[in-house]
Amino acid sequence: MPPKRNRDSKEDSVKVKNDTNTKIKSKTTSNKRSKSNHHEEHKDHEEPNAKRVKRVAKPLLNKIDTDLNEINFDCSKLNAIGNKYNLKISSWNVSGIRAVIKKNGMEYILKEDADIVALQETKCDKNKLPEEVKLKGYHYYFFESKKRGYSGVALYTKEKPINIKYGLDNAEFDNEGRLITAEYPNFYLLNAYVPNAGQKLVTLPKRLKWNEVFKDYVKGLDKKKPVIICGDLNVAHQEIDLKNPKTNTKNAGFTKEEREGMTDFLDAGFVDTFRALYPDKADAYTFWSYFANARSKNIGWRLDYFLISKRIKDNVCDNIIRNAIYGSDHCPIVLYINI
């Protein structure tokens, strides 16, 4: 996708965006795929026979809709090499895309205007996707779980990737709509929804299996091109990454095994961009339980990450947690990078 865009001024950005749209439009003609449990959709081909989702006048969760105009969606920071970002990636565990749509969550996505948008826990069969998922200017790819209403990831991208891969060639995990890999000219983008270890850690073994399979898969890609992983990794890595580390050591997302899994992964040559930028920043969370009004008290967890190949770590301009965005129990995260 980059380096075709110049983001040194807002005006340019808008102009380039229009160019991009036009370009994408002219490029997207046929080659629709319709295999087992993944789905590629396009504004140029096919109207899904999806029902229209009824709008309800309900605030985004426990807050009246945040005024999106008060948020700065741009980033003026330069990376370690001195460059402004030319690629913006947004990642959001929506916990049900249809619910988020009803809560006007797509408005956030449009306002963010990222080049790549990665959604997790879409929880929606492709034939039930409402009209609202069709965002103008994006190619979009949905990978659903065989188990309806469970898991599922989606990828929106302004530039059409060289290739899209659903899953990681593992029968168990690929039934659950947990990973989309998009290949671009000079990097891989991975949108991941990592298995939850479950109540009383009943699925911790499955989770640890994922850690192994996923690490092997990513290491393979990383040999070819740098990798950008984003998504809900379902682990708070260090004590700083959740409000109550002491009382959660036996709970899903903060067990020794899950934390070691993350350490192990990073040791294989990857960087947690947020923590690299803000090593001591506490109270920076991306998830809050719906229980007990945790979000209003900021009793949260940092479960959503950008992990990138070490060799592109100096390309990062910033990594923002959009904690003013409601509509899910996770908030979006945004990576600004020049690549």
Partner DNA sequence: CGTTGAAGG
Partner DNA sequence: CCTTAAACG
Instruction: Confirm or reject binding of residue 56 to a copy of itself (CB under 8 A).
Output: yes
Question: Measured from the CB atom, is 55 or 224 closer to a copy of itself?
Answer: 55
Tell whether the torsion through CA atoms of 252, 256, 259 and 260 is positive or negative: negative
Half-sphere exposure of 314 (CA within 13 A, CB side): 5
Contact region with DNA (CB under 7 A), list: 8-16, 36-44, 197-205, 262-270 = 197-205
Q: From residue 151, how far is each of 60, 175, 250, 283 by CA, in Å?
A: 21, 10, 23, 27
Active site residue 330: yes
Q: Which of 174, 232, 241, 272 is catalytic?
A: 232
Instruction: Confirm or reject binding of residue 57 to a copy of itself (CB under 8 A).
Output: yes
* Minimum separation from the CB atom of position 128 to DNA (A): 5
Q: Give buried/exposed letters for 160-192 (b at 16+ CB in 10 A, else e).
A: bbeebbbbbebeebbbbbbbbbbbbeebbbbbb
Q: Which of 156, 166, 193, 336 is catalytic?
A: 193
Active site residue 305: no
Q: From residue 284, how far is each of 41, 67, 252, 260, 323 by CA, in Å?
A: 35, 21, 19, 21, 9
Question: Measured from the CB atom, is 196 or 323 closer to DNA?
Answer: 196
Tell whether the torsion through CA atoms of 265, 267, 268 and 270 is positive or negative: positive
93 is in an annotated binding site: yes
Which of 99, 201, 277, 299 is the binder for DNA (CB under 7 A)? 99
Contact region with DNA (CB under 7 A), list: 40-48, 117-125, 154-162, 269-277 = 117-125
**Torsion on CA atoms 42, 47, 49, 54, rounded to nearest 10:** 80
Tokens of 338: 């020049």
232 is in an annotated binding site: yes
Which of 41, 258, 304, 329 is the binder for DNA (CB under 7 A)? 329
Strand pairing class (87-93; 116-120): parallel
Contacts with DNA by CB under 7 A lie at 51, 54, 61-62, 95-99, 103, 121, 123-125, 128, 148-151, 195-196, 198-199, 203, 234, 252, 289-291, 329
Query: Which of the residues are catalytic?
Result: 193, 232, 330
Residues flagged as binding site = 93, 121, 232, 234, 329-330
Residues flagged as binding site for Mg(2+) = 93, 121, 232, 234, 329-330
Contacts with a copy of itself by CB under 8 A lie at 56-58
